[in-house]
Amino acid sequence: MPANKILIVDDEQVIVRLLSMSLKSDGYETFSAFSGEEALDVFKEHAPDIVVTDIKMPGMDGLELLKKIKELDPEKEVIIVTGHGDIDSTITALQFGASDFINKPVRDEALAIALDRAKTKISIREQLASYTHDLEEKVAEATREIRRKSNFQRLLIHSSHDAIVAFDQDWQIVVYNPEAAKIFEKKPGDVLGKMTIDELYTPELAQYFRKEAENKANDRDMPWQEMTLETRSKKKIPVRYATNVLHEKKEFMGIVNFFQDLTEIKRLEKELIQSERMAAVGQTVSGLAHYVKNILIGLKGGSYVVDVGLQNNNMEKLTTGWLTIKKNIKRVADLTQDMLTYSKERKPEAELCFPNEIVDEVVDLVTDFAASHNIHITKICDPELGEMVLDPRTIHRALLNLVNNAIEACLELEEENKKFVVEISTKKGDDGSAVFAVKDNGIGMDEETRTKLFTPMFSSKGGKGTGLGLLVTKKLVEEHGGTIDIDTSLGYGSVFTMRLPEQPGDSRNGNNKG
C-alpha cells in the first residue's frame, strides 16, 4: 500500500491550507491540524503515513509532537519545517528521529522532494518488513515440515507392519516399534535406550548381526531372506527379514533390522494348498467317474452279448462278448496300475537292457491297431544306442503312453486323405543318456492343452481318456532322473522327447528282460 495520507501541522492556518491544496492536487489525502495537541488527536484517529509539522508552535511544539508520534509509532515519517539557520532545533529533531527537514518558507519542490524521500523510505521499510515476514514464514514452514517429516518417520516406524529394531554404534536399541514388541514380547519402555542387542536377541541372533555389521563395509542393504526366528522366550516364528548396516563417513553408525511375521501367511499358504488339492480331487473324481462309466458300459454290453451267446449256443457271440469283457478288464487293470504308479513312490529298477529292443516291443503292440486306422508306425533306431543300465519297465510304459497318445492325436485330426505317421526314434544323447522321440502329425495342441498336459485327470478325450497317461509317464521319467520335452503345433502334430540318463550305482548283472 503506497504511503498516501499526510498530516500537515502549523499554527498558521493559511500555510496549512495552501500546502494542503497543493498536495491534494498531487493526489495525496491530507489532514490538517493547527496545534501539536490537535495534531496528536488527528494522528491517532487517521494514522497518516507522513506528518509535516512546523517546529515552532504555541503549546506543544513540533519537537514535542515528533517525540509523541515516534512513541506511538516509530515507523511513521515526520518531516520538520524549520526557520532558516535554526541548527539547534534541527539537531534535536534528528535525535528524536525526524526523517527530513525543509526550510521556511516551504517551497513546493522542496516539499515534493522530502515527501518522495519519505515515501521511498516507507516503501523500503515495508518491503523489508514483508521480506522479513516471509522469511519468518518460511522458517516456520520449514520447521513445521521438518517436524512433520520426523513425525511422519516416527509414525511410519510406529505403524509399520514390519517389526523394526535399530541399534546405535554401541548396540543400544534406539528404534523398537509395536510390531517388534509383538514379536519379542517386551514393552518399548523397557527396551528403548535400556537394552542392548544381547538382551533382546538370542546369543546366536545377536552374534549373527554383529558379524553382518563387521562384514558389511557399505550401506547396501541385503535382500529379504526367510528364517525361523527364535526369541529369548523360546518362541519360534517364521519371518522374512532384511538388515541395513548404517555408516557415516565409513564409520559404523548402527544397524536396522526389519522382520515380517510370516505366521499368518504360512497358514494361508497351507490353506491354499489344501484347497487346491481338494479341487484337484474333485476334478480327479469326476474325470475318473466318466472313464469308469465307459468301462462299465463295455462290461455290461459284453456280458449281455455273452448271455445271448450262451442262450443260443452261438460261439461267435460268446467270443465277441468275451473279448469285450477282457478288453475292459484290462482297462480297469491299467487304470488301477496308473493310479498306483501315480500315488506311490517308486525307485527305478535299473538293469542292463537294450533300449532299441524295447522300442520294438512297443511298436509290435500298437502296429495292428494303428494300421486298422490308416496310421503308419515307423521307427528310426540309433545303432549307437547299445546296452545300457536303465529301468526297462519305465521305458516300456512311458513309450507306450506316448505312442498311444500319438495315435489318438492322429485319430482326432479329421482330415480325410492325410497320411498319418507316428515316428519313434532313439539316439544316444551327448551326455550319454538314452533319448527317445515320439513324433506324430496328428491334431497337435493349443496353448491351453499344452499347459494342462500334466494336470491330474486332464484329458481332451472325454470318457475315452483317463488323463493319467502323461502324468504317470512324467513321474516315471522323473524318478529315473530324466526329462520330457514337448514341441507341438495345433493342427500339425507334436513331438515328445524323453531323455533317460543311465542309472549309476546299479549292479550291471541284471538280466535283460523287458
Partner 1 sequence: MSKKVLVVDDDPDVRSFVVTVLEENRYTPLVACDGVEGLEMIQKEKPDLVILDVLMPRGSGIRLYRQLKTDDALKAVPVIMFTGIALRSFLKSQKALEEFKGEKVPEPDIYLEKPVEPQELVDAIKKKI
From the list partner 1, Mg ion, ligand ADP, none, partner contacted by residue 48 (C-beta under 5 to 8 A by kind): none
Q: What is the DSSP secondary-structure string of 68-114?
A: HHHHH-TTSEEEEEE-TT-HHHHHHHHHHT--EEEESSPPHHHHHHH
**Which residue's C-alpha cell is 508552535?**
57
Distance from C-alpha of 459 to C-alpha of 332, rounded to nearest angstrom: 17
List 278, 296, 310, 380, residue binding partner 1 (CB under 8 A): 296
The CA distance from 307 to 296, in Å, is: 16
Whether residue 192 contacts residue 176, with contact meaning beta carbons closer than 8 Å, is answered with yes
Burial class (CB in 10 A: 0-12, 13-18, 19+), 259: buried
Give the nearest distance from C-beta 421 to Mg ion in angstroms.
Answer: 19
Structural contact between residues 40 and 68, judged by C-beta atoms closer than 8 angstroms? yes
- Cell 480331487 belongs to which residue? 281
Restricting to residues 401-430, which ones interact with Mg ion according to CB under 5 A? 405
453 makes contact, choosing from Mg ion, ligand ADP, partner 1, none, with CB < 5 to 8 Å by partner type, with ligand ADP
Among 200, 440, 480, 500, binds ligand ADP (CB under 6 A): 440
Stretch that binds partner 1, among 177-185, 247-255, 261-269, 289-297 (CB under 8 A): 289-297
Residue (of 105, 46, 107, 100) closest to 77 by Cα position: 100
Q: Minimum distance between the CB of residue 331 and partner 1, rounded to whole angstroms?
A: 10
Q: Which of 105, 462, 478, 489 binds partner 1 (CB under 8 A)?
A: 462
C-alpha dihedral (216, 217, 220, 225), degrees to nearest 10: -10
Question: Smallest distance from the beta carbon of 340 to Mg ion, in angstroms?
Answer: 17
Query: Phi then psi for 56, rounded to 5 degrees?
Result: -105, 110
Exactly one of 287, 355, 392, 469 binds Mg ion (CB under 5 A); that residue is 469
Query: Contact letters (x/-) for partner 1, 406-445, by CB under 8 A?
Result: -----xx-x-------------------------------
Write each residue from 109 to 148 as x if it is in contact with partner 1 (CB under 8 A), else as -, in one continuous string: ----------------------------------------
Residue with smaller CB distance to partner 1, 290 or 393: 290
Nearest to Mg ion of 48, 469 (CB atom): 469
- What is the sign, positive or negative, of the torsion defined by CA atoms of 8, 14, 17, 18? negative
If contact means CB under 5 to 8 A according to the sort of partner, which of Mg ion, partner 1, ligand ADP, none does residue 294 touch?
partner 1
Among residues 470, 477, 484, 500, the one that binds ligand ADP under rule CB under 6 A: 470
Query: Judged by CB under 6 A, does residue 465 bind ligand ADP?
Result: yes
Task: Please answer whether residues 460 and 469 qualify as being in contact, where contact means their C-beta atoms are separated by less than 8 angstroms.
Answer: no
Q: Which three cell numbers stand for residue 154?
A: 516416527
**Cβ atoms 202, 183 nearer than 8 A:** no
Total Cβ atoms within 10 A of residue 358: 24
Contacts of 76 (CB under 8 A, 6+ apart): 48, 49, 50, 51, 69, 70
The piece of 52-60, 148-156, 231-239, 462-470 that touches ligand ADP (CB under 6 A) is 462-470
Q: Which residues of 483-493 are buried (b: 16+ CB within 10 A; e: fewer)?
A: ebeeebeeeeb
Residue 406 near which of ligand ADP, Mg ion, partner 1, none (CB within 5-8 Å, type-dependent): ligand ADP
Secondary structure (DSSP) of 224-274: PEEEEEE-TT--EEEEEEEEEEEEETTEEEEEEEEEEE-HHHHHHHHHHHH
Q: Which is nearer to ligand ADP, 247 or 331 (CB)?
A: 331
Which of 45-53, 278-286, 353-361, 439-447 is the region at the interface with ligand ADP (rule: CB under 6 A)? Answer: 439-447
CB of 342 to Mg ion, least distance (A): 13
> Quick one: which of 183, 494, 499, 500 contacts ligand ADP (CB under 6 A)?
494
The amino acid sitting at 463 is G
Place of cell 512324467: 474
CA angle 470, 472, 475 (to 5 degrees): 105
Candidate list 131, 152, 304, 369; residue touching partner 1; CB under 8 A: 304
Compute the least distance from the CB of residue 287 to partner 1, in Å.
Answer: 13
Q: Quick one: what does residue 471 bind among Mg ion, partner 1, ligand ADP, none, with the CB cut-off 5 to 8 Å set by partner type? A: ligand ADP
Q: Which residues ranging from 384 to 423 are in contact with ligand ADP (CB under 6 A)?
A: 401, 405-406, 409
b/e map 291-305, b = 16+ CB within 10 Å: beebbeebbeebeeb
Separation in Å, CA 312 to CA 18, 324, 358, 477, 479: 151, 18, 44, 50, 53
Which residue, 57 or 437, is less far from ligand ADP as judged by CB? Answer: 437
Between 93 and 377, CB nearer to ligand ADP: 377
Between 322 and 454, CB nearer to ligand ADP: 454
Residue 449 as a binder of ligand ADP (CB under 6 A): the answer is yes
Instruction: Tell me if 491 contacts partner 1 by CB under 8 A.
Output: no
Region from 47-55, 210-218, 247-255, 463-471 binding Mg ion, contact rule CB under 5 A: 463-471
SS3 27: coil
Place of cell 505312442: 403
Residues lying near ligand ADP in the complex (CB under 6 A): 401, 405-406, 409, 440, 442-445, 449, 453, 458-461, 465-471, 494
Q: Interface residues with partner 1 (CB under 8 A)?
A: 290, 293-294, 296-298, 300-302, 304-305, 308, 317, 320-321, 324, 327-328, 411-412, 414, 462-464
- Give the binding site for Mg ion (CB under 5 A): 405, 469
